[in-house]
A and B are shown apart, each in its own frame.
Chain A
Amino acid sequence: MASRPDETGGQQISRRGFLGWVSGAGIVGSFAAGALSTYVFLKPRVTYGEPNKFLIGRPEDFPSGARMAIDTRRVCIVREGNKIAAISTTCTHLGCIVAPSPVGFACPCHGSHFDVDGNVTGGPAPKALAWYKVSLTPSGELEVDKDNEIQIGSYLTV
Chain B
Amino acid sequence: MRVALAVFSVLVLAVTGVVVYNQFQSTWQDNQKAYFNQALTLAKSDVERAALTGREPKIEQTIVSGFGAQRIDRCTSCHIAVDDPRFDSAKQPLKTHPYSEAMGDVLKNGHWQRKHNFTDFGCTTCHDGQGRGLTVADAHGEEEFWPSPMLGYTTQGDWKKENADHLKGAAFLQANCAQCHTDKDFKGTPEVAKGRELFFKKGCFGCHRIDGLSAGTLGPDLTQIGKERKLDYLWGHTADPRAYSATSIMPKFQMTDAERTSIVIFLKSRHGNSQSESDVQKYVNKTAASVVLPESATALEGAEAAKMSQVERGEKLIHGLACLSCHKLDAQDGGISPDLGYEGMERDDQWLMAHFKSPRSRIPDSNMPAFGLPDADYEALTAYLLSRKTPPSNATSAELYKQLCSRCHGEKGDGKGPNWLYMDPAPRDLTSAPFMNSKPRERFINSLHEGVAGTSMPAWGKVLNDDQINGLMTYVEQTFVKTPRNPIKARKIPDANPQKSTPESIAHGQEIFLQRCTGCHGRKADGNGPNAMDISPRPRNLLNSAFVNKASDHRLFESIEYGVDGTAMPSWIDSYSQNDVGDIINFIRSLNATGK
Real binding pair: yes
With a CB–CB cut-off of 8 A, which chain B residues contact A141?
83
Least CB distance from A23 to B in Å reads: 5
Of the candidate stretches A26-34, A63-71, A104-112, the one touching chain B is A26-34
Interface residue A46 (Cβ < 8 Å from any Cβ of B): yes
Find chain A residues with CB under 8 A from B85 CB. 138-139
B2 and A20 contact, CB distance less than 8 A: yes
Alpha-carbon distance between A3 and B13 when the two chains are bound, in angstroms = 23
Q: Check B13–A138 contact: CB distance below 8 A.
A: no
Asked if residues B2 and A139 are in contact (CB atoms below 8 Å), the reply is no
Q: Does B112 contact A (CB under 8 A)?
A: yes
CA A135 – CA B20 in complex, angstroms? Answer: 35
Interface assignment of A94: CB less than 8 Å from any CB of chain B: no
- Taking CB atoms, residues of chain B closer than 8 Å to A51 are 61, 63
Question: Which of chain B's residues 511-545 have a Cβ closer than 8 Å to chain A?
Answer: none
How many residues from B make CB contacts under 8 Å with A? 34
Contact (Cβ within 8 A) A33 B83? no
Residue interface bits B575-587, CB-to-A below 8 A is 1, else 0: 0000000000000
Verify A30–B12 contact, CB threshold 8 A: yes
Q: Is A25 an interface residue (CB 8 A)?
A: yes
In the complex, A1 has a CB within 8 A of chain B: yes
Q: Is the CB of B61 within 8 A of A19?
A: no
Are the CB atoms of B58 and A26 closer together than 8 Å? no
- A40 close to chain B: CB less than 8 A: yes
Q: How far is the CA of A34 from the CA of B9 in the complex (A)?
A: 13
How many chain A residues touch B (Cβ–Cβ < 8 Å)? 32
Q: How distant is A8 from chain B, measured CB to nearest CB, in Å?
A: 14
Inter-subunit contact A33/B17 (CB<8 Å): yes
A19-B5, A22-B6 known; A33 vs B16 contact (CB < 8 Å): yes
Would you list which residues of chain A between 24 and 60 have a CB under 8 Å from chain B? 24-27, 29-30, 33-34, 36-37, 40, 45-46, 48, 51, 54-55, 58
A141 to chain B, nearest CB (A): 8
Min Cβ gap A41→B in Å is 9
Bound together, the chains give a CA A58 to CA B84 distance in angstroms of: 15
Q: How far is the CB of B202 from chain A (nearest CB, A)?
A: 45
- Cα separation A34 to B61 with both chains bound (whole Å): 28
Q: Does A10 contact B (CB under 8 A)?
A: no
8 Å CB contacts to A: which residues of B69-113?
Answer: 72, 74, 83-86, 109, 111-113
User: What is the chain B residue whose CB lies nearest that of A26?
Assistant: B9
Q: Are A37 and B20 in contact (CB under 8 A)?
A: yes
A34 to B16, CA, bound (A): 8
Closest-CB distance, A144 to chain B (whole angstroms): 12
Interface residue A2 (Cβ < 8 Å from any Cβ of B): yes
Give Cα A36–Cα B111 distance, bound, in whole angstroms: 46
Q: Are A46 and B20 neighbours in the complex by a CB distance under 8 Å?
A: no
Q: How far is the CB of B282 from chain A (nearest CB, A)?
A: 29
Residue from B13, B16, B59 in contact with A45 in the complex, judged by beta carbons closer than 8 Å = B59
Contacts A33-B20, A54-B119, A137-B83 given; does A1 touch B3 at CB 8 Å: yes
Query: Does B10 belong to the interface (CB within 8 Å)?
Result: yes
Q: Return the 8 tightest CB-CB contacts between A and B, nearest first.
A: A26-B9, A140-B111, A138-B84, A22-B6, A3-B1, A26-B13, A19-B2, A33-B16
17 contacting pairs across A/B (C-beta < 8 A)? A1-B4, A19-B3, A25-B9, A25-B10, A26-B6, A26-B10, A26-B12, A26-B13, A27-B9, A33-B20, A37-B19, A46-B74, A55-B119, A58-B111, A137-B83, A138-B39, A139-B84
Interface of B toward A, CB cutoff 8 Å: 1-6, 8-13, 16-17, 19-20, 23, 39, 51, 58-59, 61, 63, 72, 74, 83-86, 109, 111-113, 119
12 additional A-B pairs beyond A46-B74, A48-B63, A135-B51, beta carbons within 8 Å, are: A20-B2, A22-B9, A23-B2, A23-B9, A25-B10, A29-B13, A30-B9, A30-B16, A34-B16, A45-B59, A48-B72, A137-B83
